[in-house]
Structure 1
């Protein structure tokens, strides 16, 4: 019946709020909030996440938002984001509150509603967060340099349900972190960057499960020993650019944190073989290991991981010059549940290690061997036994040619991503086999493959109709006809990266939205 409001008279508040929570676009949520005062109030109740930028008097903003959005459990404040106050010609300037209410605030649900124009979050703002959001579970403070231990103590005392805390560039001291550890017994995730005090974490945060430490210039083994001694539930540890950590630090983690499942060591140049060896001996539940720019970690360390960590599923190695085939062979033999192996610029790793992976790790779904120039066709022939392989990146492995890729095409029908860029010996025969054997291929990178021609491209796209992206810059054998074939034969194509000179006017008219150019002119 016209004029009869069936929704507002029949549906309870709880159901309308639930509907709002399912709306994932800003436009839809804003439209709903403008229907009536009831919907405006209910839409605010559905907000669970708020994001606040740098300007806009954050202390005042937090106080205002706490009154409007009572069910928020996630708050992100990033003082790197700089948003300008919009101007309204002809409108008289009102109070500070009116100005604040006219500014944008980003919410994770897609809605913007909010605030701007002033300085930095202070301890008073932290108190306002604690008073206004008692249900807070996740708090992220990025470069809020005016926050001190006083503010963190105030918040910890009121937000006892806090589970995740991200402090990047916030120079609070031990007292603040100690208060978080003592009051927030559910704290599981702690991310610290450019932070100087850590001993309090080990002594107070016994429920901690995730710890990420970035760029600790003054952080020594003492801090990580405290973590190993006090944080027995730790499962995920990332240490990046912590230059003064040594093998003793990792040994403390290994002996104290038996539940460890994920470890990433990035650019910690004083950590070597002995530290990782202790992880292999004492952390049998390890499932993910990433070693980036670890020049001092050698073969014996990974051999120990292979012997002791049989549940390892993911191994990521970047610029580890002392790790070679012996380590990879031992990983393959001991960690037969390995699903992802990503190696980049580890020049001592060649066919022998990768062949062992193909022989023993039949559940492999992702393999990346970027710029491992000792890896050739023999390795890919072995990997072809892994029929579940979906992701393959052999960019810059110059010894790989048609033979290896043909084996992959015949043995890995589920392949969906392939990067064979900078392979000078790869030709059209491999493309034809890939087209026949890998119908699920969605993304392919062929750039700098000088032997490929339009003939190979035609064979590839004939059967790979699910292709969504194709990169083929600097392939002199591929012409405008090949580009046109890709565009016309692949109904799902979304991106074709190619030189501008190889796109005909007809192709540009038909598919201008999917064509991307690496260079304007070549």
Structure 2
């Protein structure tokens, strides 16, 4: 039955499938559908440039017109990924220049892009129309001159401005408010949680929020959750770490708990403020469709991480910094990591020994330890590592690792074990 339709008819039908996951599902039906889908796919998304090689992508999808590629972990935005870690776009540009002459669009995020890379892009793709560089580095105005890019979330806005937005922009779907000076000349806070509450009340189509602010309350978060249960992305950054509800001085567990309980379709969540293990219990219980979670300065113990890994069935990316999560929850939920795209942990309580065990137990994962102070085996095995990046890959360990990155595969782990023999008490 699946093969009864002519190929040109199926290709036309497949053209209406815009989501990568839908197209991936179609390709699994049968060999014929696999071939039709791969030959007709025009847009590809690579969420981790080290999860697959350019050659593998080109071999499977030979007629691509738009590429979206991500490199460094998300916490590179906060300068937590050391300079020189990787994420180079060069091998991708070289490969695509030869294979995709009709490429029209490239979107890059958290990648190293040089002026030479931009020059090669400008000369290789005759129909090229769109270049998006988000949190990229390595280029100058000379490189941009080759592309002749134009520049344009940023105007200052206060609570008054957000209230006007709520009254006038009924079709608003996405709101991004970045940090600026939140005080007026008299020292009063001019951008608070009330602006966000007003938008949640006045904009019925609002689905995505990225909001930087100085203060937040549980009452405001509960109001936002009740006003906008259709929210799919909610990212809140309270600039002061571990800031409590400024009205009650309580943790913000109840407020974020209301977000995950009411917003049933939530896909992405970033949390900040004073948070305990209780909020992670809420997340594990209610956030069944959550795909990406970013956490900083939160939690009390390993129990918080366990709630997330054991309860969030759809989780694909987890980013953690400065949290008291360690070996027990990580190793107990190791098989969960094979269903995810990546896990990033920095300034947590994960030991070098646990990283070795994880690498031995999960050979299909790249378990990367990042230690700028020296080799991770130079101290006791229970010594915490600086940073840990775990990701699923079919390309094996990458070949461009700088000296401060170690991959915990079975071979490397065995070498470390031999090197530390006899260095006991």
Structure 1's unaligned 5+ residue stretches are 1-18, 33-42, 51-64, 84-103, 108-138, 142-167, 169-191, 193-212, 217-241, 427-450, 511-522
8 Å contact kept, 1:325–1:352 = yes
Correspondence 1:299 to 2:197: no
8 Å contact kept, 2:260–2:266 = yes
1:358 Cα shift?
1.4
Out of 179, 189, 195, which is 1:267 matched to?
179
Out of 179, 199, 215, which is 1:279 matched to?
199
Structure 2's unaligned 5+ residue stretches are 1-61, 68-91, 107-121, 133-138, 183-189, 246-251, 382-389, 416-425
Partner of 2:396: 492
Correspondence 1:312 to 2:231: yes
The 3-state SS of whatever aligns with 2:210 is strand
1:497 Cα shift?
5.5
Partner of 1:460: 358
The 3-state SS of whatever aligns with 2:294 is strand
- 1:465-520 superposed Cα distances (whole Å, 9 cap, x missing partner): 2334612315876259x9xxx9xxx97101555559999xx98xx9xxxxxxxxxx
- 1:80-479, aligned counterparts within 5 Å? 81-82=141-142, 106=146, 140-141=149-150, 168=151, 192=152, 213-214=153-154, 216=155, 242=156, 245-268=157-180, 269=182, 270-292=190-212, 294-320=213-239, 321=243, 324-343=252-271, 346-372=272-298, 374-383=299-308, 384-398=310-324, 400-409=325-334, 413-424=338-349, 426=350, 451-453=351-353, 456-468=354-366, 470-473=368-371, 474=373, 478=377
8 Å contact kept, 2:317–2:342 = yes
Partner of 1:197: none
Structure 2: distance between partners of 1:500 and 1:71: 39
Q: Which has the higher contact order (CA 8 A, sep 6+)?
A: 2
8 Å contact kept, 1:339–1:366 = yes
8 Å contact kept, 1:332–1:357 = yes
C-alpha change, 1:387 and 1:75, in structure 2 (3 Å) is closer
C-alpha change, 1:70 and 1:275, in structure 2 (3 Å) is same
1:327 Cα shift?
1.6
8 Å contact kept, 1:388–1:412 = no
1:258 Cα shift?
1.9
1:403 Cα shift?
3.5
1:338 Cα shift?
1.4
1:299 Cα shift?
2.8
8 Å contact kept, 2:216–2:238 = no
The 3-state SS of whatever aligns with 1:285 is coil
C-alpha change, 1:322 and 1:47, in structure 2 (3 Å) is same
Structure 2: distance between partners of 1:299 and 1:280: 15
8 Å contact kept, 1:48–1:74 = yes
Structure 1: distance between partners of 2:280 and 2:224: 17
8 Å contact kept, 1:452–1:478 = yes
The 3-state SS of whatever aligns with 1:337 is coil
- 1:255-304 superposed Cα distances (whole Å, 9 cap, x missing partner): 22222221111115222122111122122322211112x00343332222
Partner of 1:236: none
8 Å contact kept, 1:470–1:496 = no
- 1:10-53 superposed Cα distances (whole Å, 9 cap, x missing partner): xxxxxxxxx99979998899999xxxxxxxxxx9xx79689xxx
Structure 1: distance between partners of 2:96 and 2:278: 57
Structure 1: distance between partners of 2:165 and 2:103: 39
Structure 1: distance between partners of 2:375 and 2:127: 59
The 3-state SS of whatever aligns with 2:377 is coil
User: Which structure is larger by alpha-carbon Rg, 1 or 2?
Assistant: 1
1:361 Cα shift?
0.9
Structure 2: distance between partners of 1:462 and 1:296: 44
C-alpha RMSD over aligned residues: 4.7
8 Å contact kept, 2:222–2:255 = yes
8 Å contact kept, 1:23–1:29 = no
8 Å contact kept, 2:215–2:238 = no
C-alpha change, 1:502 and 1:302, in structure 2 (3 Å) is closer
Structure 1: distance between partners of 2:268 and 2:95: 39
1:356 Cα shift?
1.1
8 Å contact kept, 2:331–2:358 = no
The 3-state SS of whatever aligns with 1:470 is strand
C-alpha change, 1:415 and 1:252, in structure 2 (3 Å) is same
